[in-house]
Structure 1
Amino acid sequence: MLAVQNVTRTFNKGKAGFRNVTFSMKEGEIIGILGTSGCGKSTLLRVLSGLDDQYSGKFTLSKTDSDHKVGMMFQEPRLMPWLSVNDNIGFGVKTAKQKELAKELLDLVGLNGFENHYPKDLSGGMAQRTAIARSLITEPDVLLLDEPFSALDAFTKMQLQDLLLSIWKKRQTTMVLVTHDIDEALYLCDRVFILRGQPGEIYAEIKIEQKKPRSRGDVTLAEKKAEILNLLDLNNDIKEKVQ
């Protein structure tokens, strides 16, 4: 579905961003991009979304037509405060099919009964549900998620992770998820790419074989987490702080 070949985007005299990123993914796959702050994860999504064209290398979608659709969900909901939930979800849609889809998405994200509420009346979780629905209104070929649940409390975050999986199960949307949360990456993704350095480079690829949905307490996932901590040198950092 998506092929990324030697893509580089650096700034601050080459000291920030990412370089030489290469990977490919199949339709319906969920890929995680994991790394510590400053390694270029969000910058990579900006490039793939078309919001940043100052890069080298290339990336392609496998669709044969020219109407490639990429959806983007940011860290914050970024809802328009003067529009209702329903109008935020359907903002910019023109066809009757899309308007009908907006109703379907409202139900899919569990916001029936709140369609006429405004962002100021929503909890953080409800605002993110609205943002998820809005990102799917164009039926994107690839959905890019930039730490979409990082600002939420632990329980709301888990609920929305499960919601994302339910959407994936129903629609088989191909997704690229940027996250700091190792547990989130292991729970949601089929493969996880570890970015390290400044500028960031792909340091390792972790495959998660368990079928989704997974148990959050799965022993194998705990072993994968320990492996990722070692790859990021976080275990050593923790030991040094304790000492």
Structure 2
Amino acid sequence: MSVRIDEKLFRAADGGLVRAIENLAFEAPKHGFTVLIGPSGCGKTTTLRIILGLDADYRGEVRLPEREGRVAVVFQEPRLLPWRDVEANVRLALPHELRSADLDALFATLGLETMRSRFPGELSLGLARRAALARAFATEPSLLLLDEPFVSLDEMTASRLRALLVSVWSARPTTALMVTHNLREAVELADRIVFLTARPGRLRGVVDLDRPRAARDAVWREATLRAIDEAYPGIL
């Protein structure tokens, strides 16, 4: 996927124009895991909205991995329908040809086997976010967008969910683009990290991580964080 946003403007409350994004261009490799990181207000979520086609009022061009492929999104909030159980929430998102798909392996990978008949009100936030991940992957997307899916979780729960995300993504490879503020999270998950400046969001730099995730131990992660902090002061 390639993204080029030459300019994105917003109309402010006083009627003036605010330049949110300017001269931002990057690529997310096919079947790779790319993370977009930058300070609050730099245009990360706006970039996702443009990629989704929810905001066409910009100058630039977005080329998706597959023109006719499906796009799945995992938001900050799980956004599950409270009157449907977990399995119904997941299957509701499926296209007609996948409505009867066998989801046993997906539910098992995400630890949701015993939760399929539970309703959202019976789930912890961590379990609800697992259900949101299941809903996204069940559609067999060619592009997966994640907007800070682990925000507000305690670190132990977030770490467990990151490991689950890697497991299910590795089993069902798709082009992934995730927004986060958390550099440690990015170093754990990403093949490529795209750094943005403060508003207006511009490309600050790109770091590719070619070390296998299984080999990213604590020593390597800390050394990588220090190297990134030296190259891009203030990111950590």
Alpha-carbon distance, 1:14 to partner: 4.6
Partner of 1:133: 134
| CA pair 200-22 structure 1, distance change in 2 beyond 3 A | same
Partner of 1:70: 71
Q: Tell me the CA shift for residue 27 of structure 1.
A: 1.6
How many pairs are equivalent? 232
- CA drift at 1:232: 5.0
Q: Which residue of 2 aligns with 1:151?
A: 152
The answer as to whether partners of 1:73 and 1:132 remain within 8 angstroms in 2 is: yes
Counterpart secondary structure, 1:224: helix
1:102 deviates by: 4.0
RMSD value, Cα: 2.1
Query: CA 1:218/1:174 → structure 2, altered by over 3 Å: closer, same or farther?
Result: farther
3-state SS of 1:18 partner: strand
Corresponding residue for 1:91? 92
Q: Does 1:34 align with 2:47?
A: no
Runs of 4+ that moved beyond 6 A: none
Percent identical pairs in the alignment equals 32
Q: Which residue of 2 aligns with 1:241?
A: none
Superposition map of 1:1-243 within 5 A: 2-11=1-10, 12=12, 13-15=16-18, 17-63=20-66, 66-93=67-94, 95=96, 97-219=98-220, 221-230=221-230, 232-234=232-234
User: CA offset at residue 59 of structure 1?
Assistant: 0.8
Contiguous gaps of at least 5 residues in structure 1: 239-243
1-structure distance, mates of 2:156, 2:20: 32
Distance 1:189 1:83, change over 3 A: same
Q: Which structure 2 segments of 5+ residues have no match?
A: none
**AA partner of residue 195 (structure 1):** L
- TM-score for both structures, normalised by structure 1: 0.87
| Structure 1 residue 109 displacement after superposition | 1.5
Paired residues of 1:42 and 1:178 also in contact (CA < 8 A): yes
Q: Give the 3 Å change call, closer, same or farther, for CA 62–101 of structure 1 in structure 2.
A: same
Shift of 1:168: 1.8
For the structure 1 residues 19 and 214, does the alpha-carbon distance in structure 2 shift closer, same or farther, using more than 3 Å as the test?
farther
CA distance in 1, matches of 2:6, 2:119: 40
Query: Could you tell me which amino acid in structure 2 is paired with residue 5 of structure 1?
Result: R
Shift of 1:49: 1.4
Specify the SS of the correspondent of 1:150. Answer: coil
Instruction: State the Cα distance separating 1:230 from its structure 2 match.
Output: 4.3
TM-score where L is the length of structure 2: 0.90
SS at 1:20 equivalent: strand
Q: Does the CA contact (< 8 Å) of 1:86 and 1:102 recur in 2?
A: no
Cα displacement string for residues 41-61 of structure 1 (whole angstroms, at most 9, x for unaligned residues): 111111111222222100112
The CA distance in 1 between the partners of 2:135 and 2:143, in whole Å, is 14
Letter of the aligned partner of 1:171 in structure 2? R
Distance 1:227 1:18, change over 3 A: farther
Partners of 1:167 and 1:92 in 2: CA distance: 18
Provide the rounded CA distance (Å) in 2 between the counterparts of 1:228 and 1:101: 42
